[in-house]
């Protein structure tokens, strides 16, 4: 996932509301490491993450609230660059953290290495219902029927559109590909050889998987061990992209490159539509003072198929932690208690993985959240093959880029992507 948050830290923490789940562990707050004797000294936990800046402040807000809610455990957030490499090294050298901020798609790759601790027994013991969380997010945190963490955030791409442009052109927000293509063509503006307004961003070939599902296809076969996108669905996607680029000239590669937040093409009215996620809400609201935008779920494909890709993060407990029970108390306090989940949501402006929090007025009374919540009802996670990300990044996307640049036709693009992708899946297969 991209590191995307640009958000606001809530300044006031109502500690009385945050005590949440009390300790259910017999040894919580009692340190006996190396002595066999219980003491009243708080257990110290290390929480690793790779979010700095505003993200670090958001994590520290939660850490401080937890530390103030009780006196038996003290958590410290540690910013780690190149976190995964350091984690794997620490896991074998005795310097493992206790809790980690975790990009969920990593689970199928790292759980087989026995560096993560399953939490199923904790959930069952403490009566925490899996139904309180998005199924897809739990699936992404699982490997071979074991759950390795709880979802911290969930996100999915929806379609942002410029309401002013649509109104002036007499258009409604698109609900299917035909309407999407029509709107992109109509809203595009050129001045000679200069593109002034792009109808639809095509700057992210990584969205191919979303489009393929909308076309009724899949990225991998039913066995999950080979690519499946060299198909009619794949051809439908590249057909749409090709028409938008070459026939309608609704986008030009590089159009959005080098633009900062304040000069974002959508913010400045140079882009009519864009598939992006809830992480952009704060940017558009902060810099787009004259921007009137709407958000709708991704338009359905040619046969009515709806699709988006669910992403997000979780909290996991390291297998090398010497204080797993206490680490679980922190994870549970944060992600299984509505008040604390809401503090996180209001602090970070993220959609939480804990669904009861979504009933709060913070989400119910703000219409900008609804399109994402509606999209999350049908969004699916990426395939859980451990080599999937390598396949997509090294096999598929470079070929898609050649297609977008007009250097490779659709049939060649799909065939080369599938051939290279199958080899990469096989080379990175740990599911034996």
pTM for the complete prediction?
0.84
Query: For position 382, what pLDDT does the model report?
Result: 93
Structure tokens given for 251: 């986008």
Q: Which CATH superfamily is domain 157-309+385-427 in?
A: Periplasmic binding protein-like II (3.40.190.10)
pLDDT band at 260 (very low <50, low <70, confident <90, very high): low
Buried b (16+ CB within 10 A) or exposed e, 123-133: beeeebeeebb
Please give the pLDDT value at position 141: 97
> Among 23-32, 40-49, 270-279, 307-316, which stretch is predicted with the lowest mean pLDDT?
23-32
- pLDDT tens-digit series, residues 18-73: 344 443 333 444 444 444 455 689 999 999 999 999 999 999 999 999 999 999 99
Residue 276: pLDDT over 80 = yes
What is 31-155+311-376's CATH superfamily? Periplasmic binding protein-like II (3.40.190.10)
| pLDDT for position 429 | 84
More confident residue, 22 or 204: 204
Domains 31-155+311-376 and 157-309+385-427 fall in the same CATH topology: yes
Confidence band for 179, pLDDT divided at 50, 70 and 90: very high
Q: How is the chain split into domains, by residue range?
A: 31-155+311-376, 157-309+385-427
Output the furthest CA–CA distance in the chain (Å, rounded): 80
* pLDDT above 70 as % of the chain: 89
* Cβ count within 10 A of residue 134: 21
94-116: average pLDDT: 93
- pLDDT per residue as tens digits for the range 158-178: 999 999 999 999 999 999 999
Q: What is the DSSP string of 139-189?
A: HHTEETTEE-EEE-B-EE-EEEEEHHHHHHTT-PPP-BHHHHHHHHHHH-E
Contacts of 151 (CB under 8 A, 6+ apart): 104, 133, 134, 137, 138, 141, 312, 313, 314, 335, 352, 353, 354
pLDDT for residue 386: 86
pLDDT of residue 35: 45
């Amino acid at each position: 996932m991209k590191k995307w948050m640009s958000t606001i830290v809530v300044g006031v923490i109502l500690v009385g509301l945050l005590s949440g789940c009390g300790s259910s562990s017999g040894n919580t707050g009692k340190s006996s490491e190396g002595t066999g004797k219980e003491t009243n000294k708080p257990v110290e936990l290390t929480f690793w993450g790779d979010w700095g800046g505003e993200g670090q402040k958001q994590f520290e807000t939660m850490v401080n609230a937890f530390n103030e809610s009780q006196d038996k455990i003290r958590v410290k957030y540690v910013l780690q660059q190149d976190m995964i490499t350091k984690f794997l090294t620490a896991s074998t050298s005795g310097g493992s953290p206790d809790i980690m901020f975790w990009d969920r798609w990593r689970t199928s790759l790292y759980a087989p290495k026995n560096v993560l601790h399953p939490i199923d027994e904790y959930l069952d013991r403490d009566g925490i219902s899996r139904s309180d969380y998005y199924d897809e997010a739990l699936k992404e945190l699982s490997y071979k029927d074991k759950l390795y963490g709880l979802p911290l955030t969930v996100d999915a791409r929806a379609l942002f559109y410029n309401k002013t442009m649509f109104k002036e052109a007499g258009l409604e927000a698109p609900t299917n590909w035909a309407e999407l293509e029509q709107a992109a063509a109509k809203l595009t503006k050129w001045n000679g050889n200069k593109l002034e307004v792009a109808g639809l961003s095509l700057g992210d070939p990584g969205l191919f998987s979303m489009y393929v599902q909308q076309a009724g296809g899949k990225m991998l076969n039913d066995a999950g061990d080979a690519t499946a996108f060299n198909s009619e669905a794949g051809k439908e996607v590249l057909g749409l992209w090709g028409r938008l680029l070459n026939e309608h000239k609704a986008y030009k590669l590089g159009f959005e490159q080098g633009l900062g937040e304040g000069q974002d093409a959508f913010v400045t009215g140079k882009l009519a539509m864009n598939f992006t996620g809830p992480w952009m809400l704060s940017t558009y609201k902060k810099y787009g003072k004259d921007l009137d935008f709407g958000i709708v779920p991704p338009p359905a494909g040619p046969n009515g198929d709806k699709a988006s890709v669910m992403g997000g993060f979780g909290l996991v407990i390291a297998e090398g932690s010497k204080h797993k029970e206490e680490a679980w108390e922190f994870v549970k306090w944060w992600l299984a208690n509505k008040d604390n989940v809401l503090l996180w949501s209001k602090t970070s402006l993220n959609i939480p993985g804990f669904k009861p929090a979504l009933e709060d007025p913070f989400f119910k009374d703000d219409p900008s959240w609804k399109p994402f919540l509606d999209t999350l009802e049908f969004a699916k996670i990426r395939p859980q093959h451990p080599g999937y990300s390598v396949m997509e990044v090294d096999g598929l996307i470079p070929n898609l880029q050649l297609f977008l640049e007009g250097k490779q036709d659709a049939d060649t693009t799909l065939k080369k992507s599938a051939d290279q992708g199958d080899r990469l899946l096989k080379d990175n297969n740990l599911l034996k």
